[in-house]
């Protein structure tokens, strides 16, 4: 049994979102070193603020300013900070009830060690040097030995140049293993061969193989070489240019049933104007220099496949 493949995989994209009136006031307030909360119909002050009362679902617009000092209500020590976390050295995650608030705000507390942290300790906001209207405008909290508590004050939420949106980076950083069946498939692709697996029960050939037949629930281990040519079963015209992808739009992405396969795989179609691609078009793979999988598929020039030959594979 050859070694199962494994590779690092990073999925990363920026998530852009607009802010409603309350979040906009909250984040703009942080930029101006002001912490805002909302007061519910029952008189409770929620920080961070929400737009709807979690109990009654009533809309809330009653902004108030709370203190930049508060009390730790619970905490956990973070021994190994990860990429993108508030501090690059060990710190405590804390829930801080800011003076005047009835709820806890989750943030980081800069402390020398877990022995320096306790529930009930007093802390204050350490503001970031450069503030943009984001939760990171609070760099972290720091211990602050003072019993002086600020009062809640009404706030109209009016600021110049209010923040109306944020970009939240999302990143998944993990190690991916395709398993034994797809390892065989990928290794065969390195020799420019497409190898699927046949189900011993229903005789279907899966490409790429997953190691089991999803219909019969039995292992598939009979190797079957398919292709290299195939038939376009369905397709779409892509009009949105993807970042980091050096292909001009519009282009066509298709489901292709390789000859002998009972499952369509997907690939890009080129070598034909995008508006002439059609169901039934016969195609063959085109490999790029040193590529480990087909760069795209191009027409073979054969007559189109009869619909009945691929209708079960759409």
> Which residues of the chain form contacts with Zn ion (CB under 5 A)?
199, 201-202, 213, 215-216
Closest approach, Cβ 131 to Zn ion, in A, equals 60
In the complex with Zn ion, the residue whose CB is nearer, 171 or 203, is: 203
Sequence-distant (6+) residues with CB within 8 A of 213 are 199, 201, 202, 204, 206, 220
| Separation in Å, CA 77 to CA 43, 107, 117, 142, 271 | 33, 12, 9, 14, 58
- Residue at token pair 């290794």: 187
Q: In this structure, are residues 97 and 128 in contact, taking their beta carbons and an 8 Å threshold? A: no
Closest approach, Cβ 261 to Zn ion, in A, equals 14
- Residue at token pair 């109306």: 164
Closest approach, Cβ 197 to Zn ion, in A, equals 10
Closest approach, Cβ 262 to Zn ion, in A, equals 9
The secondary structure element, H or E, covering residue 29 is: helix 21-31
In the complex with Zn ion, the residue whose CB is nearer, 63 or 213, is: 213
| Separation in Å, CA 160 to CA 31, 47, 135, 156 | 11, 22, 18, 12
In the complex with Zn ion, the residue whose CB is nearer, 252 or 263, is: 263
List helix spans (H) across 129-253: 179-190
What single-letter DSSP state applies at residue 277?
Answer: -
In the complex with Zn ion, the residue whose CB is nearer, 56 or 215, is: 215
In the complex with Zn ion, the residue whose CB is nearer, 202 or 245, is: 202
Closest approach, Cβ 208 to Zn ion, in A, equals 16
Closest approach, Cβ 182 to Zn ion, in A, equals 18
In the complex with Zn ion, the residue whose CB is nearer, 44 or 210, is: 210
What's the CA gap between 237 and 277, in Å, rounded? 9
Structure tokens at 34: 């002001």
């Amino acid at each position: 049994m050859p070694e199962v493949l494994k590779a690092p995989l990073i999925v990363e994209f920026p998530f852009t979102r607009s802010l409603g009136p309350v979040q906009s006031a909250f984040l703009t307030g942080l930029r101006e070193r002001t912490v805002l909360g909302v007061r519910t119909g029952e008189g409770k002050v929620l920080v961070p603020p929400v737009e709807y009362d979690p109990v009654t679902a009533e809309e809330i617009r009653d902004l108030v300013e709370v203190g930049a000092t508060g009390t730790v209500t619970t905490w956990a020590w973070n021994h190994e900070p990860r990429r993108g976390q508030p501090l690059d050295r060990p710190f405590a995650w804390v829930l801080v009830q800011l003076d005047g608030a009835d709820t806890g705000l989750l943030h980081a507390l800069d402390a020398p060690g877990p022995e320096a942290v306790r529930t009930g300790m007093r802390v204050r906001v350490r503001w970031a040097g450069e503030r943009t209207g984001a939760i990171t405008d609070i760099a972290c909290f720091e211990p602050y030995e003072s019993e002086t508590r600020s009062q809640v004050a009404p706030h109209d939420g009016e600021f110049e140049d209010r923040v109306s949106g944020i970009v939240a980076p999302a990143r998944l950083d993990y190690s991916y293993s395709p398993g034994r069946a797809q390892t065989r498939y990928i290794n065969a692709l390195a020799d420019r061969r497409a190898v699927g697996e046949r189900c011993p029960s229903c005789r279907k050939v899966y490409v790429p193989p997953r190691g089991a037949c999803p219909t019969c629930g039995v292992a598939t281990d009979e190797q079957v070489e398919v292709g290299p040519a195939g038939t376009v079963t369905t397709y779409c015209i892509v009009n949105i240019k993807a970042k980091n992808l050096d292909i001009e739009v519009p282009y066509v992405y298709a489901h292709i049933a390789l000859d002998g396969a009972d499952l369509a795989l997907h690939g890009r179609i080129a070598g034909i104007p995008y508006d002439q691609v059609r169901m039934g078009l016969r195609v063959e793979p085109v490999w790029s220099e040193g590529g480990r999988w087909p760069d795209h598929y191009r027409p073979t020039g054969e007559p189109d496949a009869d619909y009945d030959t691929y209708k079960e594979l759409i």
